[in-house]
Structure 1
Amino acid sequence: MDTPPNDRRRRHKPLLDPRLRERSIYVLPNLFTTGALFAGFYSIVQAMSGNFELSAVAIFIAMVMDGLDGRVARLTHTQSAFGAEYDSLSDMVSFGVAPALVLYVWALKPMGKLGWIAAFIYCAGAALRLARFNTKLDESDKRYFQGLPSPAAAALLAGLVWVASSYDIAGSDIFFGWLHMKWLAWAATVFAGLTMVSDLRYFSGKDFNLRRSVPFVVVLLIVLAFVLISYSPAEVLFMIFVLYGLSGYVAWAMRRLRPPPEQ
């Protein structure tokens, strides 16, 4: 029996109009975004209570949650304009305000004006970085980020706090006989803040295809990475993000030192 015309049209009608999708609010990806926002807020609360190791770990948890919400939205086809705006506001709290306040309370406060200026440079850098990313989303090269991503900058500062706390080094301590932790924290905070708004290119990893076949040695390296992180998470994660933060400068120097192509 033939399908009635009305049923036929209804069968081929899209499940959701694109204009409605833009205004829709989906539960699943926004759960991860809310988790990232909560972790950033929890980091601030723990820093105000003096639990700096917990505050640093919370920033890393926020980074994991932030990495999942966009991927979940794409896999489940639940992207929306609301989700994009919510994610950006969550990033500002978790990777902009939280790291700046944690570093300020942990090490920068005794420095007076120099301390809060460094924290503000980082916070403003994160805001400008997110604003630039949102406005250039459609015209940027997907393979690279312009400037250090705010989650990586936050992980760099959180890693410093986590490593120092695991060795019972306070933000006001002097170690190696001469290096004052507050100056190291100040330099790291300013470095991360300025690098976020730089024009340096950082590998994004967005063109990495998880369904592509790889040599067996790649699987071994992944297993080794998990072993190293589980054995000493603070040191390994901190070094990973230190190297990632420096990679943009190394790539820039290599491009400048490369001889021009022959005509």
Structure 2
Amino acid sequence: MRRPLRRRTQRGLPLRAVAPNAVTALALCFGLTGIRYAISAEWETAVTMIMIAGVLDGLDGTVARLVRGESRFGAELDSLSDAISFGVSPALILYLWSLRGIPRVGWLVALVFAVFCALRLARFNANIDVSEQPHKSAGFLTGIPAPAGAGLAMLPIYVSFVSDAAFLRSPWLVVPWVGFIASLMVSSVATFSWSSLKLRHHIRFEAIVVVVLLGAALISAPWHTLSVICVGYLATIPFSIRSYGRVRRLRGTPAAEAQPLSSPPDEPVPEAGDH
């Protein structure tokens, strides 16, 4: 007598999920390698490793959507990678570059930055399935994302590559700066989300020109360009706060009670930079 066929229970990750997870793992490798170069005092290479990790972090979500490889495992791996690449690694680089000049206070600030980055990511994961997210439903982020926080925290290093001013490496300058950026990561400040920005039809060509010029500037003068990008990003925060305030007034409800315009996606795959 022939036994009835039993359906095999699907276990593990599907093959299509390997590609985005491999990109995430590669970003983690670059983030950790930044620490290796910081120990050797190769500061430009160390910072470059963090920048490459940031680019890869922006690609893994896109790759996951292209191959339909979204998974809870990928979302958790992405958060772990971000906590190390944009929290632990920049904190150690900054400590070895400047903060160890005042070991006790410097290490405390490095710890605060790394822990605040992890707290931000934990808050992000905890809110994935929450239906009421006023900032997200309005097209904003809550606080600055982890990759942006890492890039902003290392702004004194970029400027030091351009200028030989010794005061830029002073821990008394770097300590309040790193503390300020760490507080922005865990703050409730509304910031612009790249995924919510829409280009009008008549300015798409101009946008391509700007992207090309930006890419050329990053190749020819990377540290000047990164410094300008960081200052420009910080300059957008007052405008994002005002824009969100306008949205909140249009809704006619307090921020804590605002109803979302749309429900979050079923799969916890973050957009590039949402973390």
Instruction: Give the alignment's TM-score, normalised by structure 2.
Output: 0.76
Question: Which whole-Å deviations, capped at 9, do the CAs of 1:8-44 have from their partners, x for residues lacking one?
Answer: xxxxxxxxx9x95985462211121111101111011
Question: Which whole-Å deviations, capped at 9, do the CAs of 1:55-103 have from their partners, x for residues lacking one?
Answer: 1111000000000001100111001111111111010110010011111
Task: Identify the match of residue 130 of structure 1 among 121, 129, 152.
Answer: 121
Helix, strand or coil: the match of 2:154?
A: helix
Inter-partner Cα distance in structure 2 for 1:220 and 1:198 = 34
For structure 2, which runs of at least 5 residues remain unmatched after alignment?
Answer: 1-7, 253-275
60-69 or 245-254: bigger deviation:
245-254
Inter-partner Cα distance in structure 2 for 1:46 and 1:161 = 14
Inter-partner Cα distance in structure 2 for 1:160 and 1:225 = 21
Inter-partner Cα distance in structure 1 for 2:92 and 2:41 = 12
Inter-partner Cα distance in structure 1 for 2:116 and 2:147 = 12
Task: Identify the match of residue 55 of structure 1 among 34, 46, 51.
Answer: 46
User: What's the offset of the Cα at 1:129?
Assistant: 0.5
The answer to whether the 8 A contact 1:108-1:185 is kept is yes
Aligned-partner residue type, residue 160 of structure 2? A
Q: RCO (CA 8 Å, sep 6+): is it higher in 1 or 2?
A: 2
1:114 matched residue in structure 2: 105
Inter-partner Cα distance in structure 1 for 2:11 and 2:228 = 41
Matched, 1:221 2:210: yes
2:182 matched residue in structure 1: 193
Aligned-partner residue type, residue 140 of structure 2? Y
For structure 1, which runs of at least 5 residues remain unmatched after alignment?
Answer: 1-16
Inter-partner Cα distance in structure 2 for 1:83 and 1:57 = 25
Length, aligned pairs only: 237
User: Identity rate of aligned residues, in percent?
Assistant: 36
Aligned-partner residue type, residue 151 of structure 1? P
2:143 matched residue in structure 1: 147
1:236 matched residue in structure 2: 225
Helix, strand or coil: the match of 1:95?
A: helix
Rg larger in 1 or in 2?
1
Cα 1:206–1:108 change in 2 (3 A) is same
Cα 1:113–1:236 change in 2 (3 A) is same
User: What's the offset of the Cα at 1:191?
Assistant: 1.0
User: What's the offset of the Cα at 1:121?
Assistant: 1.4
Helix, strand or coil: the match of 2:98?
A: helix
The RMSD of aligned alpha carbons is: 3.0
